[in-house]
Amino acid sequence: MSVFSKLRTAVSDAASAAVGGTINSAKENSKLLGIRSEIATLEADLNVSYSLIGKKFVDFLVSASAESAAGIPDIGVGIILTQIEPKIEKKVALEDELIKIERELGDANLIHEKSLFEKEFQAEKEKLDKAKKLGVLSESEYGARLGKFQRKLDNFEEFRKVDKQLELGIISKDEHAAKMSDLLK
């Protein structure tokens, strides 16, 4: 197989993966936006209900005598609570679905990124093999460089988790650098 055939195959494979991933990602992103929009609508409805509950409670406290306020009898919020209960349940269900979809998207992205990194690893290994055959790299240099790339490949998911922790603000940049360094040892 000629170099141009390999290159054409690699470009074709990459383009197919990108287009397929983009279509799936667009559908999932559209679904995520719909769910987020529905959650925002439910939160707005709940906030109105919460305001009504608070208003009724304040009205009660203002108009109640000291004796009746001590026992705090039913002030008419039962109907409002009955109305918002299904909204709260639906909101929780939608938030659970949102987390599930985000996790699935993350898993799909992880598989795609790992595939790309494996191809990068193979290309780097081929370069190192060639350099070793030409006598440009000693056996120990070859082993050290290949070992570093192998550790990156072996710990790929851990690297992603550490990156995500930094992205979410769970760890600082210094902690991120330390964890990444530990993963390469």
- pLDDT digits 0-9 by tens, 12-34: 665 555 555 556 677 888 888 89
Residue 8 resides in a domain: yes
Q: Tell me the percentage of the chain whose pLDDT exceeds 90.
A: 22
Residue 67 resides in a domain: yes
Residue 35 resides in a domain: yes
**pLDDT tier at 150, thresholds 50, 70, 90:** confident
- Token couple for 180: 């990444």
Residue 82 resides in a domain: yes
Region 158-167 average pLDDT = 89
- Token couple for 88: 């709260």
DSSP H helices, the chain, are 3-63, 66-71, 78-133, 139-154, 156-167, 173-184
For position 54, what pLDDT does the model report?
A: 82
For position 130, what pLDDT does the model report?
A: 92
What domain count does the chain have?
1
One-letter identity of residue 168: L
Which is nearest to 179 in space by CA: 160, 109, 148?
Answer: 160
Interhelix angle 78-133/139-154, rounded to 10 degrees, is: 160
Domain of residue 27 covers 3-108
Q: State the DSSP code for 136.
A: S
Give the C-alpha separation, 108 to 103, whole Å. Answer: 9
Residue 148 resides in a domain: no
Residue 139 resides in a domain: no
Is the CB of residue 60 less than 8 Å from the CB of residue 75?
A: yes
Q: What is the pTM of this model?
A: 0.47
Residue 74 resides in a domain: yes
- Token couple for 37: 């929009």
Residue 36 resides in a domain: yes
For position 67, what pLDDT does the model report?
A: 58
